[in-house]
């Protein structure tokens, strides 16, 4: 029987299986958090949904689905059969592809996402961006945060509800660790996850839904092989 998969500060989740799949790993974990059957397949191999990629171990199944996600986020046709701008896989996950993936399978049905550019904001702007992230993630929907150095975004992490008030949790796919994401570390550009400090962009819920449906995430089509 499928059970709910959860991650909180202090927990350890799956680790990304290649140097360029931090975004794909975050999106796979996001789907695990809202889809108990999918999470059970990744962790145990059962049940075995039609079209699911092969893998004898949890790490192999996770890696196989990372590749499925990257084909969608970086290809011409993304999740939900949405046309998208292709992107080289060697450069990681494009934010627009991640947005489609979140809206069509890695969040609850009907959740709308938007891109929120954080790079270049002053401290007040980053404070506003962080507080907005707290507000829209509090309902249980995940968000992605692109971080890097002052020149380039280099890594993607998954933002999760924290205490439901002013604290967020964050899953780092490079280590699998879940820690607190504090407001001051974002505002002062010293995030310190996998060596990267500067917030660049958030792919976050808008706080709106396309439909009134609180059911778990759906599988819009059989899992691609």
Which residue range is the domain that position 130 belongs to?
22-207
Residue 5 lies in a domain: no
Place of tokens 């001051």: 184
Residue 22, pLDDT above cutoff 70: yes
Residue with more model confidence, 219 or 138 = 138
For the chain, the average pLDDT equals 88
Residues 93 and 201 sit within 8 Å (Cβ to Cβ): no
Residue 135, pLDDT above cutoff 80: yes
Residue 8 lies in a domain: no
Q: What is the DSSP string of 79-140?
A: GGG-B-----GGG---HHHHHHHHHTTSSSTTEEEEEEE-TT--HHHHHHHHHHHHHHHTTS
Residue 215 lies in a domain: no
Residue 9 lies in a domain: no
Digit-coded pLDDT (tens) for 146-191: 999 999 999 999 999 877 567 799 999 999 999 999 999 999 999 9
Give me the pLDDT at residue 223, please: 55
pLDDT band at 120 (very low <50, low <70, confident <90, very high): very high
Tokens representing 59 are: 């790490």
Digit-coded pLDDT (tens) for 82-106: 888 899 999 999 999 999 999 998 8
Tally of structural domains, the chain = 1
Residues 6+ apart with CB under 8 A from 58: 14, 42, 43, 44
Residues 147 and 199 sit within 8 Å (Cβ to Cβ): yes
Q: What is the CATH number of the domain that holds 150?
A: 3.90.70.10
Give me the pLDDT at residue 83, please: 82
Beta strands in the chain, from DSSP E residues, in sequence order: 111-117, 143-148, 153-161, 168-171, 178-181, 198-209
Residue 68, pLDDT above cutoff 70: yes
Give me the pLDDT at residue 118, please: 97
Report the C-alpha gap between 210 and 220 in whole angstroms: 15
**Which of 16-30, 126-140, 159-173 is the most confident on average?**
16-30
Give me the pLDDT at residue 14, please: 95
Tokens representing 112 are: 């709308």
Report the C-alpha gap between 32 and 37 in whole angstroms: 8
Residue 216 lies in a domain: no
Give me the pLDDT at residue 24, please: 97
Residue 137 lies in a domain: yes
Give me the pLDDT at residue 221, please: 40
Residue 204, pLDDT above cutoff 50: yes
At 92, give phi and psi (nearest 5°).
Answer: 85, -160
First to last CA, the chain: 24
Residue 212 lies in a domain: no
- For the entire predicted model, the pTM comes to 0.90
Residue 10 lies in a domain: no
Mean pLDDT of 99-124: 93
């Amino acid at each position: 029987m499928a059970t709910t998969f959860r991650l909180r500060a202090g927990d350890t989740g799956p680790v990304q299986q290649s140097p360029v799949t931090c975004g794909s790993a975050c999106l796979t974990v996001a789907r695990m958090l809202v889809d108990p059957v999918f999470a059970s397949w990744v962790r145990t191999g059962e049940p075995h949904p039609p079209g699911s990629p092969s893998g004898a171990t949890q790490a192999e199944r996770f890696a196989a689905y990372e590749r499925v996600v990257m084909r969608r986020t970086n290809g011409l046709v993304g999740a939900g059969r949405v046309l998208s701008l292709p992107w080289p896989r060697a450069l990681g996950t494009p934010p627009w592809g991640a947005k489609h993936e979140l809206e069509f399978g890695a969040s609850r049905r009907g959740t709308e996402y938007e891109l929120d550019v954080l790079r270049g904001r002053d401290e007040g702007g980053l404070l506003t961006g962080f507080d907005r992230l707290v507000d829209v993630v509090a309902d249980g929907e995940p968000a992605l945060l692109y971080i890097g150095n002052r020149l380039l975004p280099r890594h993607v992490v998954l933002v999760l509800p924290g205490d439901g008030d002013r604290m967020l949790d964050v899953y780092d796919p490079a280590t699998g660790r879940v820690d607190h994401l504090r407001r001051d570390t974002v505002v002062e550009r010293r995030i310190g996850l996998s060596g990267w400090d500067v917030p660049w962009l958030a792919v976050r819920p808008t706080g709106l839904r396309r439909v009134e449906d609180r059911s778990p995430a759906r599988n819009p089509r059989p899992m691609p092989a």
